[in-house]
Amino acid sequence: MPEKPSAVILLSGGLDSTTVLAIATSEGYACNCLSFDYGQKQTVELAKAAKIAAIYGVERHLILRLDLDRIGGSALTADIAVPKNGNPDRQGTIPITYVPARNAILLAHAVAWAEVLGAWDIFIGVNAVDYSGYPDCRPEFLAAFAHMANLGTRAGISGAARFSIKAPLMHLSKAEIITKGISLGVDYSLTHSCYDPQGTKACGHCDACILRRNGFVAAGVADPTDYL
Amino acid sequence: MPEKPSAVILLSGGLDSTTVLAIATSEGYACNCLSFDYGQKQTVELAKAAKIAAIYGVERHLILRLDLDRIGGSALTADIAVPKNGNPDRQGTIPITYVPARNAILLAHAVAWAEVLGAWDIFIGVNAVDYSGYPDCRPEFLAAFAHMANLGTRAGISGAARFSIKAPLMHLSKAEIITKGISLGVDYSLTHSCYDPQGTKACGHCDACILRRNGFVAAGVADPTDYL
């Protein structure tokens, strides 16, 4: 039997990235999960990520420290209130929860680790709901990132293969993501989405909670989230 | 008098990046220096960077922590010996001191900070000697990086301006860099290049020391380095 190909999976511990891990696992990848303690308010997601990685029996799970809170500029990393009860259908405006260059920073680490592991495929859980608001969730950004990574790494210029940034949720709504995850056996009670949790409880009113809650309703699936 | 434009300067504390800081200062930029404690063996360079930033009276100096030593894959971050007494004219081979995706990671942080500061110009001290060996020091990588950054950030897609990655040393030899720096008053005794220092003393035999030493000889300038 041929060896499984290795992949690096960006795993925040959220609904989307956990679904991506389930997809990559179902596609036969040996999964190496990468999470970041980047100064986010919702560090509770890291314990969720560790538990999820353990349940999926991944090859490796690395949690790296970044100082994005010292750069700031976002409601997730600076002393800026997380908006509540807004309309998360952003229609082209970028929410204050945008973290400057976050996906470029996270993906660059993923490429570095992939290079060390001999992996070529990097999975990220961005999707249509996100990319209506966040510039670093759009397909054109991911294509430009892959091009840059293939020019700026030893592996990329080796000619052996090309780094590929895989975003299997890109064109799915939240409800479609949940339906896909359920079909793969994902236990969403393990996941965390809230931007502004109190302890392990979700606030229920930030954009992430609203999108998650609406997604479960639209998918016709009971929402296992522990809201305040 | 119009306000000075802001720039982010990647400052390692080495000969090249210090020369870049002198160039950016001479060009009238308000300089914001960014350094990284990334798990490198030569952390002594960070104290040098702090002293240099203070002497230049920069606007801000930020030293961010990264866990690149937990990714490894390089003689600078992992338990791999730094090569000594080699020929640093690499002729297309990539040395073991290459750090996977380092410049992508560092530049992505620089873009994040630039976005918060309202800066558009990012300076990096890569040069022809480096880009003969390191893929992430080549002009084509920097161009691809800038393209990616302009697609993946709020500032980049705003249309107000474009991020520009400036590499004023790109086509200079080490001797030409030193000559340029001397003309701008750089005190190279403040700078550190060695990959494998003992305390504050340079080993004198790694690629960085050999290139530095040869550069001073070729420039006809006394080498102020404190070698072992």
Distance from CA of B124 to the nearest CA of A (A): 15
Distance CA A173, CA A210 (A): 13
- Tell me the shortest Cα–Cα distance from A25 to chain B, in angstroms: 22
Q: What's the whole-number mean pLDDT along residues B127-143? A: 89
* Contact (Cβ atoms closer than 8 angstroms) between residue B11 and residue B53: yes
Which residue of chain A is at minimal alpha-carbon distance from B102? A112
- pLDDT for position A200: 85
Could you tell me if B7 and B32 are in contact, meaning their C-beta atoms sit under 8 angstroms apart? yes
pLDDT at B87 over 90: no
Along chain A (228 residues), what's the average pLDDT of each consecutive run of 10 residues?
A: 90 97 98 96 93 98 97 93 82 86 98 98 91 89 98 94 97 96 98 93 95 96 95
Question: Mean pLDDT for chain B?
Answer: 94
Alpha helices in A124-206 (DSSP H): 128-131, 139-151, 154-158, 174-183
Q: Do residues A14 and A47 lie in contact, with contact meaning Cβ atoms separated by under 8 Å?
A: no
**Identity at A11, one-letter amino acid code:** L
Closest CA to A169 of A4, A6, A14, A5: A14
- Report whether B29 contacts B6 (CB < 8 A): yes
Please give the Cα distance from A110 to A96 (Å, whole number): 25
Q: Nearest-CA residue of chain B relative to A60?
A: B71
How many CB atoms within 10 Å of residue A65? 13
H or E segment and range at residue A64: strand A60-65
- Kindly list the distances between the CA atom of residue B112 and the CA atoms of A56, A103, A113, A169, B209, in Å, as whole numbers in the listed order: 33, 10, 21, 25, 32
Q: How would you label B133-158 residue by residue, b for 16+ Cβ within 10 Å and e otherwise?
A: bbbbbbeebbebbbbbbbbbbbbbbe
Range B31-42 average pLDDT: 95
Closest in B64, B105, B138 to A112, CB measured: B105
pLDDT at A219: 97
Alpha helices (H) in A56-199, listed in sequence order: 68-71, 102-117, 128-131, 139-151, 154-158, 174-183
* DSSP SS3 for B226: coil
The per-residue pLDDT for A137 is: 95
In eight-state DSSP terms, residue B213 is H
The total number of residues written for chain A in this structure: 228
Q: Please write the tens of the pLDDT for every residue from B95-131.
A: 999 999 999 999 999 999 999 999 999 999 999 777 7
A34 contacts in chain B (CB < 8 Å): none
ipTM value for the complex? 0.95
**Nearest-CA neighbor of A108 among A30, A5, A10?**
A10
Q: Is the pLDDT of residue B28 over 80?
A: yes
Q: Does domain A6-219 have CATH number 3.40.50.620?
A: yes
Q: Which of A71, A76, A162 to mutate to test the interface with B (most CBs of B within 10 A)?
A: A71
Task: Answer for the pair A46, A17: CB distance below 8 angstroms, yes or no.
Answer: no
Q: Looking up tokens 């996941």, which residue turns up?
A: A191
Helix, strand or coil for residue B106?
Answer: helix
pLDDT at residue number A1: 61
Q: For residue B185, report the phi and psi dihedrals to the nearest 5 degrees.
A: 85, 15
Contact flag A100-B94 (C-beta cutoff 8 Å): no
Task: Please determine, for residue B182, whether its predicted confidence score (pLDDT) is greater than 70.
Answer: yes
| Model pLDDT, residue B148 | 98
Average pLDDT over residues B34-45: 93
Q: How many CB atoms lie within 10 A of CB A41?
A: 18
- Mean pLDDT for B70-98 is 87
Contact assessment for residue A105 and residue A113, using Cβ atoms and an 8 Å cutoff: no
Structure-block tokens of residue A78: 């600076």
Among A25, A54, A9, A5, residue whose Cα is nearest residue A185: A25
Q: Is the dihedral of CA A169, A175, A176, A178 positive or negative?
A: positive
Identify from B109, B130, B138, B165 which residue to disrupt to test chain A contact, counting A C-beta atoms within 10 A and taking the largest count. Answer: B109
Report the residue of chain B nearest A106, measured CA to CA: B105
| Cβ contact, residue pair B113, A102, below 8 Å | no
